[in-house]
Structure 1
Amino acid sequence: MGLLTRDIALDLGTASTRIYNAHGGIAVDVPTAVAVNTTTGRILAIGAEAGRMYGRTPAHVKVVRPLRAGNIDDFEVAERMLRHLLMLAGRGRGPARTQAVVCAPSDTTGVGRRAVLDACRVAGVSRVRLIPKPVAAALGAGLPVQEATGTLVVDVGAGTTEIAVLCLGGVVAARSVPVSGDVLDEAIRTRLRKRLQVDVGRHTAERLKTGLAAADAAGRTLTVRGRDTSTGMPVTLAVEADEVRAALRDPLERIAAEVVAVLDRCPPELSRDLLGRGVTLTGEGARLDGLEELLRRATGTPVHIASEPGTAAVRGAGRCAEDPSLANLLEAVSR
């Protein structure tokens, strides 16, 4: 008897990796992080456990993020991570051949695409099909990507922000901008060092970023624990929300400028569609405080945040894995 075939969708992100089992939903949603013993090469932890180790490891242990800006930065670690996560996603299903629909950044080079295909194949995927991430995100957000009407998606991830105008199932105009969650976190860290002489970790900066709206609504300051840059001693400070917002201003304005640049490249017929339909925000950074209003002012169009924006791309790719009628959205096939 031959092996059963298992169809999945895969969103390999800089910060998170998600696997969607066709007709079963999201089976894996973990940080893209691997803890490696640099002396022996042994992998100590993958996913959430490895993420918790970040900044807390001894010298011989390194926490690796094997993807950067949607491209594979460390092939061997990425392959070992994928193999482990595919096993988690298939737990209880018995032996099966795996076919995957994989989200790919719109500007990934041929070399980058080949690296993704090769890593999936080495990890045990028998067939890989690629879908541009903005198309997957739009599909997961419930947008009519196959209709003869323009749709503008802004997918704010950790490594890149994908901006794309879609029509008839294809990408009309797009940009992949290296301004994203990681850049915003670093902007916060830089401002705190310069203005308050306190050094904080990446996770602390991320908490400041995501806690901004709640702190504003409650009229509270944000508590920071870090290291005093002048004394090297641990310190706890209260940071005004405006201080964090000021750190985010320049990178967010750059995203807005890139969205306007993509709009400028659209044919007039599509521009008319977009004026009414507006911008749809997806990705982990979609709910970032201030981004929605900034894009509304910059574009003069409505701005909508997708339902469950962080998982929109993998859910859209999952629909392609489930529904053969969406095969025209897929970009490449590797057998």
Structure 2
Amino acid sequence: MFGRSDLGIDLGTANTLVYVRGKGIVINEPSVIAINVETNEIIKVGAEAKKMLGKTPSYIQAIRPLKDGVIADYDVALAMLTYFINKAQEKFSFFRPRVVIGVPYGVTEVESRALLTAGKEAGAKKVFLIEEPMAAALGAGLPVEEPQGSMIIDIGGGTTEAAVISLGSIVTATSTRIAGDEFDEAIMQYVREIYRVTIGVRTAERVKIEIGNVYPLKEFDELQTEIVGIELSSGLPKRLILTGGEIREAIRPTAMQIVETAKVTLEKTPPELVADITERGIVIAGGGSLLRGIAELLSKETGIKVYQADEPLSCVAKGAGLVLDKINILARLKSVE
């Protein structure tokens, strides 16, 4: 293909996904970059770099350049974004693409400018920023341009965002920096306090994926996984068996903060739109929506049926790509060329 391939990018705290129009998701890799700090040479990006987290010699740093969905280290984020854009483009086009990047709701002007500039410097012809709840709703196939209320909750790695959308705009939304990373932190803290054993973030993430749950069901209680950590008293390795029941108790306070985000958003929503949402349900997306029992917990606490989006991990990237065909929405996005 010799034409231009426009890109939708979910530049997430945990993972970066790139959607190419007509091709679908072409990149899904961790938002991690490994750098030689003595020479500033990029060693690895994405999945290969993530394998190095917590395992590098002193002269190599494995860095996550985004925190809570926004750029925390500009130079490293630029290098990572350039790598992903070039990797996505090399297969499909020789022309500079238009790029739409998902950003957290309520992102500051300074944070927006950093992303727009990084996108241009990374090789885009024109860069647009779309708020992640809108992108997620588009990617999930919600009728966002219709005169009716649609509610989406996007639970990512760094942020959770709940939004009500109607007529192509976000009517009300709430963003909290409580999401997947905080579940990992809660697991690490629990193991340290209860077992006096320290574990790394990659181990905590594995525990979350294998047995993490937030709703009391017998099948969740019976889940088990084995981990190895360092015993605080001796400094020696120690094996532990963790169960689903205890992990639920460890991460439930974090889950309840996400529930509160949903409730606050509903409280701010006009009554007619709440009626639409009550009838049609709430859609959840993002990696956090895969946590066992999160839909049931949200449904129980709000009294509204909750559904997981199809392909929840790719909703933001897909929606960011699809918005290029939505002229009315596109006209309202921040952009630079």
TM range (shorter): over 0.9
Distance 2:326 2:180 in 1: 34
Question: What corresponds to 1:84 in structure 2?
Answer: 83
Distance 1:330 1:207 in 2: 40
Task: Give the drift of 1:327.
Answer: 4.3
User: Residue 48 of structure 2: SS of its match in structure 1?
Assistant: helix
Task: Give the drift of 1:147.
Answer: 0.6
Asked if structure 2 preserves the Cα contact closer than 8 Å seen for 1:131 and 1:330, the reply is no
Asked if structure 2 preserves the Cα contact closer than 8 Å seen for 1:136 and 1:312, the reply is yes
Matches within 5 A, 1:294-309: 294-309=297-312
Q: Which amino acid aligns with 1:138?
A: A
Matches within 5 A, 1:204-219: 204-212=203-211, 216=219, 219=222
Question: What corresponds to 1:192 in structure 2?
Answer: 191
User: Residue 81 of structure 2: SS of its match in structure 1?
Assistant: helix
Matches within 5 A, 1:183-332: 183-212=182-211, 216=219, 219-321=222-324, 323-325=325-327, 327-328=329-330, 330-332=332-334
Distance 1:194 1:111 in 2: 39
Alignment pair present for 1:98 and 2:97: yes
Question: What corresponds to 1:334 in structure 2?
Answer: 336
My pick for the range that moved more, 302-311 or 4-13, is: 4-13
CA 1:329–1:154 in 2, change beyond 3 Å: closer, same or farther?
A: farther
User: Residue 4 of structure 2: SS of its match in structure 1?
Assistant: strand
My pick for the range that moved more, 48-57 or 92-101, is: 92-101
User: Residue 125 of structure 1: SS of its match in structure 2?
Assistant: coil
Task: Give the drift of 1:82.
Answer: 1.2
Question: What corresponds to 2:27 in structure 1?
Answer: 28
User: Residue 300 of structure 2: SS of its match in structure 1?
Assistant: helix
CA 1:246–1:213 in 2, change beyond 3 Å: closer, same or farther?
A: closer
Asked if structure 1 preserves the Cα contact closer than 8 Å seen for 2:220 and 2:244, the reply is no
Distance 1:183 1:204 in 2: 14
Question: What corresponds to 1:133 in structure 2?
Answer: 132
Asked if structure 1 preserves the Cα contact closer than 8 Å seen for 2:211 and 2:223, the reply is no
Distance 1:104 1:220 in 2: 35
Q: Which amino acid aligns with 2:298?
A: L
- Give a deviation string over 1:87-134, Cα, whole Å, max 9, x none: 110123352121111111111011111000000111111201121110
- Give a deviation string over 1:54-94, Cα, whole Å, max 9, x none: 01111111111111111111111111111111111012335
CA 1:329–1:11 in 2, change beyond 3 Å: closer, same or farther?
A: farther
Q: How many residue pairs were aligned?
A: 332
Task: Give the drift of 1:273.
Answer: 0.8
CA 1:201–1:216 in 2, change beyond 3 Å: closer, same or farther?
A: farther
Task: Give the drift of 1:329.
Answer: 6.9
Task: Give the drift of 1:204.
Answer: 1.0
Asked if structure 2 preserves the Cα contact closer than 8 Å seen for 1:169 and 1:329, the reply is no
Asked if structure 1 preserves the Cα contact closer than 8 Å seen for 2:13 and 2:157, the reply is yes
Aligned-CA RMSD value: 1.7
Distance 1:276 1:68 in 2: 36
My pick for the range that moved more, 210-219 or 152-161, is: 210-219
TM-score (norm 2): 0.94
Distance 2:326 2:259 in 1: 36
My pick for the range that moved more, 172-181 or 286-295, is: 286-295
Asked if structure 2 preserves the Cα contact closer than 8 Å seen for 1:170 and 1:329, the reply is no
Q: Which amino acid aligns with 2:73?
A: D
Asked if structure 1 preserves the Cα contact closer than 8 Å seen for 2:221 and 2:243, the reply is no
CA 1:94–1:151 in 2, change beyond 3 Å: closer, same or farther?
A: closer
Asked if structure 1 preserves the Cα contact closer than 8 Å seen for 2:151 and 2:164, the reply is yes
Task: Give the drift of 1:290.
Answer: 2.4
Distance 1:92 1:293 in 2: 41
CA 1:88–1:54 in 2, change beyond 3 Å: closer, same or farther?
A: same
CA 1:216–1:63 in 2, change beyond 3 Å: closer, same or farther?
A: farther
- Give a deviation string over 1:309-335, Cα, whole Å, max 9, x none: 0111111112123x2546447512212
Asked if structure 2 preserves the Cα contact closer than 8 Å seen for 1:165 and 1:173, the reply is yes
Asked if structure 2 preserves the Cα contact closer than 8 Å seen for 1:4 and 1:97, the reply is no
Q: Which amino acid aligns with 1:333?
A: S
TM-score (norm 1): 0.95
